[in-house]
Structure 1
Amino acid sequence: MDTFFYPDSIAVVGVSSSPSNLAQRILANLRRFRYAGKVWAIGPRDEEVEGYPLFRSVADVPEKIDLAVLLVPAKNVPQVAEECGRKGIRRLIIESGGFREFSGGESDVERRLLEVCRRYGIRFLGPNCIGIINQENGLCTPFTRPIAPFVEGGISVISQSGGVGLSHVMDLTSEYIGLNKFISFGNGLDIDEVDLIEYLGGDGGTSMISAYLEGISRGRDFLRVVSRQKKPVVVLKSNTQPSTQRVATSHSAAISGDEDVLDDAFRQVGVLRVPDSLVWANVSKQLTLPLMKGNRLAILSRSGGYAVMAADAASQMGFELPPFPDGFFDACRQYFEKSVITLQNPLDLGQIIFHPVVVHILEETLKLDEFDGVLLIYNYDAQGAPDEAHQFISQIMPLMYRYQKPVTTVLITQRHERQYIRESYALPLFRTAFHGVQALAYSRDAVRAAERRRPFETEAEPAAALPQAAELVASWRKAGRAPTVADALELLQLYGVPMVRRAVACSRDEALEKVEGLKFPIALKLIHADAPHKSDVGGVQLNLKDDYGLITGWDEIAKAASRARLAGGMECALIQEMAPQGWEMFVGVKYDPSFGPVVLAGSGGLLAEVVRDVAARVAPLTREDAAELLSETRASQLLQGFRGLGPADTEAFVELIVAVARLIIAHPEIQALDLNPVIVHPKGKGLTVVDARLVLKPA
C-alpha cells in the first residue's frame, strides 16, 4: 500500500492539451502541491502539457514507474492496465467512470480489468474516483480544478464519493484543522474501505480516520480491522433508505444493509457514526483536542440564556453537571466579587466584563478534579474592545493542553471576527451550544469505545457443529421440509438450551396418550408449515389444566386452522409443560448480507415486533459483547428489578445469547432463528425457552 501514497514516480495516462481534458488537471495539481517525484504524462499526440512532454504509451517511458493514474474512457481501461502490467507497474489509480455505477452490476469491462490485474499482480484504487492527496510529499491526483495545498495535520479522510470527501477536507481546513491524507476510492472494485482503514491504522502521520461510506461490502473484515485500531474512526454512512439505494447504486455501486444492524455493529467495535456532514466536521474538529475522559462537564458562559441552552443539551447527551466545590470561589476571590455570580454549574459569567478574569476562572475550573472537560460559551461584540477578548482566546489552547482536558469553545460574535480567531489562533470553534455539547459527547464516547474495544475474531469459536445436530439439520434438508417449532427446540436442546418438557402429537388421541408423561398445566401449539406465527391464526392454547382442557384446546386449534384455511387443517401440535412465571424476553438471529450472522436480544412476547426493544451484535460474541448488547435495551432496566419485583437471572440470559451466537457460527445454513418468548426467572433460577422459529437458507 505504501506505493499508492509514497511513489517515487507517477505516470498520468489520458492527457491532452484540449481545454476539456481532465487529466491535465492532475498534472496541474501535482505541480501546485509540489510533488517531489518524477511525473510522466501519457497522451495520444506529440505535444507538451503543463510543462510535461507527452509519451504515447507507458511503454515509451525510459524509466521505472511506481504508480499510474488512469483517466481514459472506460472501454480502454483494461488495455491500458495491460500496458502497465507489461511495463512492471503494479499500482494503479483508475479515475475513469462508466463501470457498475451505470450498469448496476459487474460489466464485461470490469471482468476484463480484474483478469488483467490478477495476471500481473496489480492492485488498484477505483474506478470512478479522484484518487489520493498526501500532504507529506505533495502527491495530489484529483482531476478537480487546481487546488492549493491544505493545512497539514493528523486527520486522514477516506471517501467513497470524491465530492463529499473533498468538501469535508475543505470544511476542516477552512477552520485550520489539518489534513494528512485524503483517499477517494469510488466503486472499491479492488482496494476498498477495509484495506484503507487497515493501512491508515498503521500510518505514522494519521492520528484520526474519518470516512464517508455509502455501503460496506466486507462487513466482517471491516469489524475485524476496526476493532484493532487504536485511533478514533469516525464514519458518515449514507444510503440509509430504500428510496436512496437506487441513487447510491448509480453513484458508487454501493449496496446498503440493515441500518439498525449497522448501528449496533459500529457500536460493537467502537466506530463513531455521525448523522450528517455538519456533525462529521464538528466531531472531527473536537477529536483534535484533548479527549473527554469522563462524563462530568463544566459549563462557563457569558450569557445566562446560552447557559440554559447548554444545560438542556448536556442533559440530552447524558452529561453530569457537578456543582463547583465550596472552595472554588476562594481561589478566584481576588478577581471578582462573589455576590455577582451564582454558585452553580452552568456558571454565568455575564457580569464579568474584564476578560483577564475569565482566564483565571477557566484555569481554576480546569484544575478541578470534579470536571473532565469544559464547554465555554464566549460572546462579545468585536466592534467594542476586542483586544482583551483576543488575549483571553490566545490562552485557551495552552490551558487545554496544560491540563489535558477539552475546552470546547462556542464563539458568538461577528463573522469576520470568527474568521480572524480561526486564522490567528487555530482554535476549533462551534456555532451553537448544542453543537459544542454534542461534539463533547462524541469525544467522551471515543474514550469509552477505546476502553472497551476488543478484537473481533471471525473464527473465535469452533465452527464444527455437534454431530447429532448436523444429522438433524441434514434430515430436514433430505425431507425437503421447513423445520417446525418442535425441530427448532430439539436443535436448541442439543446445545444445552434450557426448556420445558414437551411432546409432539398428530391426533387428539395421541395427545391424550403423550400428555401422561407431562405435568399439568400444559400449553398446546399448532405445528403447520403455513403458520409460522401460530398466535396469528389462533394456534396457541395456554394453561390447560387437565385432559378435558387438552381435548377442548385441541378442538379450538383445529377450528382455528380450518378458519385460516390451512392446507390439510390441523396436522400436529406441540404439547409443553407451562414454564414458571418470569420476564418475557427475545433472542434471535438474522443473516445480514454484509456482516453475516447477527444476534439480537431484547424484550419478547406477543408485542416484541411492536415494542422493537432490541439490540444486536455480529457473531461470534464474547460474554462481554452479550452483556453490552443487553445493557443497550430498555428491558435491561426491568431485569434489574422493578416496582417490588426482584432482579431477574440476567446472567443466565447473557449465557443464552452467547450460546445462540455459538450455534449460528456452527450452523451457517441457518438464515434466521427466533427464540420468543424466553422466560427469564428470578435471579439464580435460570430461564426457559418456550417457543422458537427457525428458517434455513435455500439449499
Structure 2
Amino acid sequence: MSIDKFFNPKSVAIIGASNNSAKVGYAVLNNIIQGGYNGKIYPINPKATEILGKKAYPSVEDVPDNIDLAVIIIPAKFVPNVMEQCGRKKITAVIVISAGFKEIGVEGAELEKKLVSICKEYGIRMLGPNVLGLTSYGSKTLLNATFAPRAPLKGSIAFISQSGAMLTSILDWSLQEGIGFSKFISLGNKADLTSVDFVEALSKDPETKVILLYLENIVNGEKFLDVAESSEKPIVILKSGTSSAGAKAASSHTGALAGADIAYEMAFKQTGVIRADDMQSLFDYAIALSNQPIPNGKGVAIITNAGGPGIICTDAVEKNDLRVAGFLPETINKLRGVLPAAAAVLNPVDVLGDADSDRYEIALKTCLEDEHVHMAIILMSPQAMTEFVETSNKVVKIAPNFKDKPIVTAYMGGKSVEEGAEILSKANIPCYDFPERGVRALKGLSLYSDFQDELKAKEPPAEFDSIDRAKVDRIFKSVRDDNRLVLLEPEAVNIASAYGIPVPKVLLTTSADEAVSVADKFGYPVVMKICSPQILHKSDIGGVVIRIKNAQEVRNTYKTIMNIVTRAMPTAQIYGIEVQEMVDIPNFKEIIIGMNRDPQFGPLIMTGLGGIYVNFLQDVAFRLNHKGLSKKEAFKMVSETKVYSLLKGARGEPPSDIDSLVDVICRVGRLCKDYPIINELDVNPLFVFEKGKKSVALDVKITLSIGDEQK
C-alpha cells in the first residue's frame, strides 16, 4: 500500500486537538494551521465545538467528508478504540504521537500489539506510536504535523530519525545553519511503518535529493538491502547502538570474527549507503550531496591563501581515499603565468596571503579546466587583503560553467567570513569552517559516484549445475529427527560435497576394528578425529591426529583419542571417531570460508587466512549474501585480505589456485542462501593448492538455527 497520504494528504483529522496551549494537541493543530497546510483540517474532541477557529467533531466518524490522514494525541489506553473508529471511517494513514506503549514495558507492549492487529484488520498504515510527528514540504503540500516548537525550513533533504529528541535538536540547529528539509520524520516505536518503508517512498520523491537517517537498528534488513540498492537518491546513515555481545556468544570462527557491527557495515557498503561517523558528518555529506554534482573521478584541486591549511587539506584528501590531482603541464604553465612568482602552482595551489578575489578566480578557473581535476576545494583564511564577499561572488559565477565538477569551500574564521559564507550558501555551494569537513564532503560525493559505477558493472550471482538438494534435505531431516543443531562432520562433509565443494573421503566409525577397515579402504596415511556435536574445535583438546600410517597406529589412536576426550569433556555425547582420507599435497595455503546468519540481514559470508590462528590474526573479509555472490564479488573479498599477497605467489612461490577458492566461496554462499536453516558454517581449513591443482575443504562445521519445535 502506498504511503503517499502521509506526505500529501488532502485532509487531516487531529484526534485530541485542544484549545489549551499547554497541551500537545494544541501544538500539533497550531503547527498544521500556521505551517500553511492548504487541505481540510478536522479537530476531533468530544468536549469542544471549535478549536483554533476550526469546527471540532466528537469523533472521526462524525466528520461528513473523507479523511486522508489522522493524527492521534490522546492517552495510550484510549488509542485502540480510536484506531477502530479510523478503520470504520476508512482512514488508511494514521500517525500515533501518543506515548505509553512498548517503551514503558510489558503492559504497553500488549497495547501496541493490539494497535498493530487493528491496523492489519482495516488496512491502516501507522507511523508510531511514540513519535514527534511528521513534516512534509512539497509542491502539493506544506504539512507540519508535529509538536516541535518551531518548523523546519523548506529544502531538499529528507531526515528520518528513530529518536524524537534528536529530531528537535537537529531542527533547532538547522534553523541557525539555514539547512532546509523536504521531509522530517520521527519513527518512534516502528510498530508498523519502518525506516525501510520511508526510504522506499522517498527514493522516488521529487522534492527530495538526499535521504538522511539516524537509526539504532534496522527492521526487515533484507528488504532494506533491496530498497537501498535500488534507491534513486543518495542515502546517508548515522547508525548508533553497536555492541560486541553477539560476537562473544558465537560458536563458529565466523561468528566470533564478525562482531556486532560488521553486518551493518557490509549492508551499507554493498548497497551504496554512505555511513556517517557522527551528526556533523551526516549533514556535511547531506549538504554536498543535495547541492553539488557527482564527480567523475577522485582528483582534487586545492586552492589556498595559506600554506598550513593547504597541508592540512592535502593530508585530509589522502586519508579520505581521494587524490591530490596532478596538473597537466599546460595548467602549471598557465598558473605560473598568472600568479606571483612566489605562489605554489603544483597543487595545493597557494595564491599567497595577499590574494584578492581576481587571483582566486583565475586560479580556480584554470584548475577546473584541467581534465585531471574532478573537484575543487577553496580555502580562505582572513588576512588584511582577503576579499571574502568578492571571492564568493566570483566562485558563484564560475560554478555553473563546470556542471560535472563539485566545488566546496572552507572559510576559516568568525565574523569576517559570515557574509561571504552566506553568499555561497544561497548559491548552494557548501561552505565549511575547516578543510577537513570540506574534504569529507567531497569524499561523500566520491563514494556515491563509486557505487553508481559498481552498480553498472555488477555481475549476477554465480550459478551451478549438479547440486544434490535431495541429499541435503535428507541429512537435515536426519539431524532434526535426532534433535540436534550441530551436524556431525561426516554429515557436514556430505552436504558440502552435494554442493560441489571438494572434500576428502570421511566415514564415522564406532570401534577400532571398524576404523582399521575404513583406513585400509581409503589407503594410508589417514586422519582421525573425535565426533561429537559438543566438541566444535577438536584440535584444542587433542581430538585430532594426522598422518596415521598403518592399522596398528589406527587402533592405538582410536583408544588414545577416546581416553583424552572423555577426560577433557566427560559430559560430551560421543558418536565415534571419524576416519578421513589424508590430503598430502605440498605447497598449499590454509584459508577459511564461513557464514554467520545475521538476524537482520541474513547470511554473512567470510573468507581469509585460515588454520588455527584465524581468531588471532583476523585477516578476513566479509560480504552479505542476500542474493548470492558473483565470482567477481567473491574475488574482491579475497583481494581485500593480506593473505591475497601470498595467494598470488610471494618470494618465488608459485601462485595458488585462486579461481578454485572463488568457486568454493560462491558455492558456500549458494548453500547458505538455499537453506535458511543453516545458522553458522565454517570451512577451516580449505587447502588451496598451486594454480590448476584446485582446493579441498579439510574440515566443515555446520550449526542449524533453532526451529519452532525446539524453541
How does the TM-score come out when normalised to structure 1?
0.91
Greater displacement, 350-359 / 448-457:
448-457
Shift of 1:79: 1.0
Aligned residue identity for 2:597: Y
Pairwise CA distance, 1:570: 8.8
Matched, 1:636 2:634: no
Q: What is the alpha-carbon distance in structure 2 between the residues aligned to residue 115 and residue 459 of structure 1?
A: 41
Q: Secondary structure of 1:179's match? A: strand
Of 548, 560, 565, the residue aligned with 1:561 is 565
1:139 aligns with 2:109: no
Q: Tell me the distance in 2 between the aligned counterparts of 1:487 and 1:242.
A: 31
Aligned to 1:340, the other structure's residue is in SS state coil
Q: Is the 8 A contact 1:523 1:576 kept in 2?
A: yes
Is residue 606 from structure 1 mapped to residue 616 from structure 2 by the alignment? Answer: no
Query: In structure 2, how many angstroms separate the alpha carbons of the residues matched to 1:484 and 1:5?
Result: 55
Letter matched to residue 644 of structure 2? S
1:157, 1:182 within 8 Å by CA — same for their partners in 2? yes
Shift of 1:229: 1.3
- 1:584 matches 2:584: no
Q: Please name the residue that 2:391 is paired with.
A: 392
Question: Which one of 593, 600, 603 corresponds to residue 597 of structure 1?
Answer: 603
Report deviation, 1:37. 1.0
Q: CA deviation at 1:140?
A: 0.5
Unaligned residue ranges in structure 2 (runs of 5+):
247-258
Aligned residue among 510, 528, 535 for 1:531: 535
Match of 1:325 among 322, 325, 328: 328
State the partner residue of 1:439.
Answer: 441
Contact 1:171 1:281 in 2 (8 A): no
Cα separation, 2, equivalents of 1:14 and 1:523: 74
**2:577 aligns to what?**
572
Following superposition, the deviation at residue 471 of structure 1 comes to 0.9
| Superposed CA offset, 1:518-560 (max 9, x none) | 3444333222233111121122223445556545654553443
1:306 to 2:313 alignment: no
Cα gap change, 1:105/1:591 in structure 2, threshold over 3 Å: closer, same or farther?
Answer: farther
Deviation, structure 1 residue 92 = 0.8
| Residue identity in the other structure for 2:103 | E
SS in 1 for 2:230: coil
CA distance in 1, matches of 2:298, 2:106: 47
Counterpart CA distance in 2 for 1:694 and 1:343 is 61
Report if the CA contact (8 A) 2:235-2:273 is conserved: yes
What letter matches 1:302 in structure 2? N
Q: 1:149 to 1:469 in 2, by over 3 A?
A: closer
In 2: Cα distance, 1:493 partner to 1:593 partner: 27
Which residue of 274, 278, 296 corresponds with 1:293? 296
Q: How far is 1:233 from its partner?
A: 1.0
Secondary structure of the 1:287 match is helix
Looking at structure 2, the residues matched to 592 and 663 of structure 1 have their Cα atoms a distance apart, in angstroms, of: 16
Alignment correspondent of 2:347: 345
Change (3 A) 1:644 1:438: farther
The SS at the match of 1:154 is: strand
SS of 1:187's partner is coil
CA contact (8 A) 1:157 1:211 kept: yes
* Residues 388 and 419, structure 2, Cα contact 8 Å, conserved in 1: no
State the distance in 2 between where 1:276 and 1:119 align.
40
What is the match of residue 473 of structure 1? 476
Question: What per-residue deviation string (whole Å, max 9, x for no partner) do you get for residues 196-249 of structure 1?
Answer: 1111112122221111111112011111111111211111111213699xxxxx
Q: Could you tell me which amino acid in structure 1 is paired with residue 321 of structure 2?
A: G
After superposition, give the CA deviation of every residue in 1:414-467 in whole Å (9 maximum; x if it has no partner).
1463366226643322232222222222221111112223899999999x9711
Deviation at residue 169 of structure 1 after TM alignment: 4.8
Q: Relative to structure 2, which stretch is displaced further, 171-180 or 35-44?
A: 171-180
Alignment of 1:486 onto 2:490:
yes
Partner Cα separation in structure 1 for residue 558 and residue 354 of structure 2: 81
Q: Does 1:616 align with 2:619?
A: no
Within 5 Å, give how 1:339-378 maps onto structure 2.
Answer: 339-378=341-380
Is the 2:462–2:628 contact (alpha carbons within 8 Å) kept by the matching residues of 1?
no
1:55 match: secondary structure: coil
State the distance in 1 between where 2:146 and 2:348 align: 47
Contact residue 389 and residue 419 of structure 2 kept, 8 A: no
1:500 positional shift: 2.4
Question: Which residue of structure 2 lines up, in the alignment, with residue 410 of structure 1?
Answer: 410
Q: Residue 599 of structure 1 aligns to a residue in which SS?
A: strand
Output aligned runs, 1:504-519, within 5 Å: 504-519=508-523
- The partner residue of 1:690 within 695, 698, 701 is 698
Between the two proteins, what is the percent identity of the paired residues? 29
Question: Which residue of the partner structure matches residue 159 of structure 1?
Answer: 161
Does structure 1 retain, via aligned residues, the 8 Å contact 2:152–2:174? no
Q: Distance in 2 between matches of 1:614 and 1:120?
A: 46
Q: Is the 8 A contact 1:172 1:281 kept in 2?
A: no
Given that 2:103 and 2:109 are in contact with CA atoms closer than 8 Å, whether structure 1 keeps it comes out as no
Tell me if the contact between 1:670 and 1:695 (Cα under 8 Å) persists in the aligned partners.
yes
CA, structure 1 residues 535+106, in 2 after alignment: closer, same or farther (shift >3 Å)?
farther
Offset, 1:493 = 0.5
Partner residue in 1 for 2:24? 22
Preserved contact between residue 155 and residue 181 of structure 1 (Cα < 8 Å): yes
**One-letter amino acid matched to 1:532:** L
Of 570-579 and 219-228, the range deviating more from structure 2: 570-579
Q: Check conservation: 2:508, 2:576, Cα contact below 8 A.
A: no
CA distance 1:456–1:39, change in 2 (3 Å):
farther
Q: Which moved more, 1:680-689 or 1:566-575?
A: 566-575
Counterparts of residues 159-198 of structure 1 (less than 5 Å): 159-172=161-174, 174-198=176-200
Match of 2:218 in 1: 216
**Shift of residue 685, structure 1, vs aligned partner:** 2.4
Change over 3 Å in CA distance of 1:445–1:18 after alignment to 2: same
The 3 A distance-change label for structure 1 pair 629 and 270 is farther
Secondary structure of 2:146's counterpart equals: coil
Residue pair 1:157, 1:169 contacting (<8 A) in 2 also: no
Q: Given that residues 579 and 690 in structure 1 are in contact (C-alpha distance below 8 angstroms), is that contact kept between their aligned partners in structure 2? A: no
Q: Distance in 2 between matches of 1:16 and 1:683?
A: 77
Question: Which residue in the other structure is 2:685 paired with?
Answer: 677
CA deviation after TM superposition for structure 1 residue 24, in Å: 0.9
Match of 1:501 in 2: 505
Structure 1: unaligned runs, 5 residues or longer:
245-256
1: CA distance between counterparts of 2:353 and 2:119?
69
Change beyond 3 A, Cα 1:239–1:4: same
Matches of 1:435 and 1:223 in 2, distance apart?
29
Instruction: Give the superposition deviation at 1:379.
Output: 1.2
SS at 1:28 equivalent = helix
* Residues in 2 aligned to 1:105 and 1:259: alpha-carbon distance in whole angstroms: 31
Counterpart of 1:665 in structure 2 is 673
Show CA shifts across 1:572-613 (max 9, x none): 133231253322111112222212222222221111122222
Separation in structure 2 between the aligned mates of residue 598 and residue 139 of structure 1, nearest angstrom: 41
**Amino acid of the structure 2 residue aligned with 1:193:** S
134-143 or 428-437, which deviates more: 428-437
Pairing 1:29-44 to 2, within 5 Å after superposition: 29-44=31-46
TM-aligned CA deviation for residue 167 of structure 1: 3.5
Q: Deviations over 1:336-372 (max 9, x none)?
A: 23x3133433233335523311111111111111122
Q: Sort the Cα spacing of 1:511 and 1:115 in 2 relative to 1 into closer, same or farther, 3 A.
A: closer
Residue identity matched to 2:689: H
The residue that corresponds to 2:653 in the other structure is: 645
In structure 1, give the amino acid aligned to 2:702.
Answer: L
Q: Is 167-176 or 51-60 further displaced after alignment?
A: 167-176
Return the alpha-carbon distance in structure 2 between the equivalents of residues 201 and 409 of structure 1: 28
Three-state SS of the structure 2 residue aligned to 1:628 is: helix
**1:412 to partner: Cα distance:** 0.3
User: Partners of 1:243 and 1:583 in 2: how far apart?
Assistant: 32
* Letter paired with 2:623: A
What is the root-mean-square deviation in Å for CA atoms of aligned residues?
Answer: 2.8
